[in-house]
Amino acid sequence: MKIDQSRIVVCDAGPLIHLDQLQSLDLLPDLGRLVMPHAVWEEVKHHRPQFGPQPPLVIERLDVKTRENLKDSTLFQILSLDKGEREALFLMADLCASMFLTDDAAARLVATGLGYEVHGTIGVLLRAIRQGYRTKEEVKTLLTEIPKRSTLYIQKGLLNEIIDRLG
């Protein structure tokens, strides 16, 4: 597995928590250099106290220069972005990151609006098929088990549609 260290991927808590619940953190390392702000680390540890990435998964925890301008502050308040999501978005800008991993709809909306490539737990699972890390059947099984094994909220109809599209 080759890791492109020039490709920076900022992680929000959701995908880390949900992929850990699905025992699928091994799907992350080749995305690039994985980073997260300390606020995201605290959120992950709150929900998954035993969380600790095992090699080859390395996720750097970085300090984020706190800043709030009126435009950011208002947008973040309207969309109810938590501290981790705000810091992750600041980190995206500070590092000129390539990708943002989040399962939060509001954070995804802001990131997409800023022109960032955004993916979540489902996208990582589907990518695993293309990369040859999981078979289509293995991913179907994981998708089917999301409501039982994960705290990821996804509408049942949407989840069924994704599973159906896999064929």
**Does one domain contain both 36 and 95?**
yes
Residue pLDDT, tens place only, 48-101:
999 988 878 899 999 987 666 545 555 565 567 888 998 999 899 899 999 999
**Does one domain contain both 145 and 71?**
no
**Does one domain contain both 69 and 147?**
no
In a domain, 2, yes or no: no
**Does one domain contain both 113 and 148?**
no
Residue pLDDT, tens place only, 123-146:
999 999 999 999 999 999 999 999
pTM of the predicted structure, to 2 decimals? 0.90
**Does one domain contain both 35 and 104?**
yes
User: What is residue 70's predicted lDDT score, i.e. its pLDDT?
Assistant: 43
Identify the domain containing residue 40 by its residue range: 8-122
Two tokens at 141?
Answer: 């099984």
User: What is residue 76's predicted lDDT score, i.e. its pLDDT?
Assistant: 60
| Residue 103 burial class via C-beta count within 10 angstroms: exposed 0-12, middle 13-18, buried 19 and up | buried
Average per-residue pLDDT in the chain? 89
User: What is residue 1's predicted lDDT score, i.e. its pLDDT?
Assistant: 54
**Does one domain contain both 142 and 73?**
no
- The widest CA-to-CA distance across the chain, in whole angstroms, is 48
In a domain, 31, yes or no: yes
Q: How many domains does the chain have?
A: 2
Taking 80 as the threshold, does the pLDDT of residue 151 lie above it? yes
In a domain, 64, yes or no: yes
DSSP H stretches of helix in the chain: 13-21, 38-47, 70-78, 83-95, 105-113, 121-131, 136-149, 156-165
* Count of all residues that appear for the chain in the document: 167
**Does one domain contain both 109 and 161?**
no
In a domain, 1, yes or no: no
**Does one domain contain both 70 and 102?**
yes
Within 8 A by CB and 6+ apart from 111, the residues are 89, 92, 100, 102, 118
Q: How far apart are CA 120 and CA 55, in angstroms?
A: 21
CB atoms within 10 A of CB 154: 18
In a domain, 78, yes or no: yes
**Does one domain contain both 109 and 147?**
no
Taking 50 as the threshold, does the pLDDT of residue 16 lie above it? yes
Q: How far apart are CA 166 and CA 128, in angstroms?
A: 13
**Does one domain contain both 30 and 91?**
yes
Taking 80 as the threshold, does the pLDDT of residue 5 lie above it? no
